[in-house]
Amino acid sequence: MLIQNALVDALNDTEWAFPLAECVHIGGFAVAVGSIALVDFRLLNLGLRHESTSRILRYTELWTIFALIFVIFSGFMLYISQTGVYRINPIFPIKMYILLAALVYNFTIHRKVAVMKDPPPALSKVVAGVSLLLWVAIVFGGIFTGFLE
């Protein structure tokens, strides 16, 4: 509790802390979503066709996880600095539910299909499409949280 208060004070009292957290949040989601999108583009046969999806997943996975840690941590900082604002926001909870769905989906179904040797093309495409939709929806959710109060 004490630590949380200290963090909240730091975010609210220093002029640059909030924008810095926002920049970490943006940079983090660019890496997280961008690295997941490479797997999705491969599943959709839209890029990196010379390499298997499972290899691409292996190359990107650590970057995805590290970036997600940064995004979630910076997002949490932004949230606790203005809990009152986020609590009454109509869009924010929707964004959180979609985020939860996207995280679970990414490390279960999405991962399972990405490591499959020869997944049916239709399955690959649906799985990649759903993944892209979920992550893009979260980006939209973030912006709309700020605009519809």
Partner 1 sequence: MSIAQSLESVQFLSDFSESVLAYPIVLSTHLTCIALFGGMILMTNLRLLGLTFKSVTITQMVTSLRPWKRLGGTVMVCTGLLLATCEATKYAPNPFFWTKMAVLGLILLHGAVFRPIVYNRTEELDKSPVIPASVKVAAYLSLFLWIAMFTMGRLIAYWD
Contact between 31 and partner 1 by CB under 8 A: the answer reads yes
Under the binding rule (CB under 8 A), the answer on residue 142 touching partner 1 is yes
Give the pair of three-digit tokens for residue 54.
Answer: 């499972």
CB atoms within 10 A of CB 113: 21
Question: Is residue 148 at the binding interface for partner 1, with CB under 8 A as the rule?
Answer: yes
Q: Are 125 and 37 in contact (CB under 8 A)?
A: no
Near partner 1 in 11-30, by CB under 8 A? 19, 22-23, 26-27, 29-30
Q: Minimum Å distance from CB 34 to partner 1?
A: 1
State yes or no: residue 117 binds partner 1 (CB under 8 A). no
* Rg over CA atoms, the chain: 17
* Cβ-based burial of 84 (10 A; exposed 0-12, middle 13-18, buried ≥19): exposed
The residues that touch partner 1, with contacts defined as CB under 8 A, are 19, 22-23, 26-27, 29-35, 37-38, 41, 46-51, 55-56, 59-60, 63, 135-136, 139-140, 142-144, 146-148
